[in-house]
Amino acid sequence: MTNMPIRGDLMPPVSDIQRENGEVREDDGSFGKVLKSKIEEINKLQLDADSAIAKVELSDSGSIHEAMIALEKASISFKTMLQVRNKILEAYQEVMRMQV
């Protein structure tokens, strides 16, 4: 049995023959890049919510309903990000506790 590296995705393992023939396309998105892009999306939602609130407070040109929806989207996405962070930390701590 060959030692296959642990893969984070749900794709089947790639054989050496497929690699040699060039049939395998390596994914450009690393975990760090994906995480960074999601954090940027969450930040954009937070900024959109702030903007919607400012419109309601200052210029009365915004809708309270739109501001509340933007606030709730930002809140849900932030809470989800915190849960993902907690799961990543738990997994890291579990790996560190493993004996080699």
How does pLDDT run along the chain (100 residues), one tens digit per residue?
455 555 555 455 555 555 556 655 555 678 889 989 999 999 999 999 999 998 888 877 778 898 999 999 999 999 999 999 999 999 999 999 998 7
Q: How far is CA 35 from CA 7, 39, 48, 82, in A?
A: 17, 6, 20, 12
Domain ranges of the chain: 29-97
Task: Give the pLDDT score at 30.
Answer: 86
Torsion, Cα of 2, 96, 27, 10 (10° steps)? 70
Residue 68 C-beta-side C-alpha neighbours within 13 Å: 3
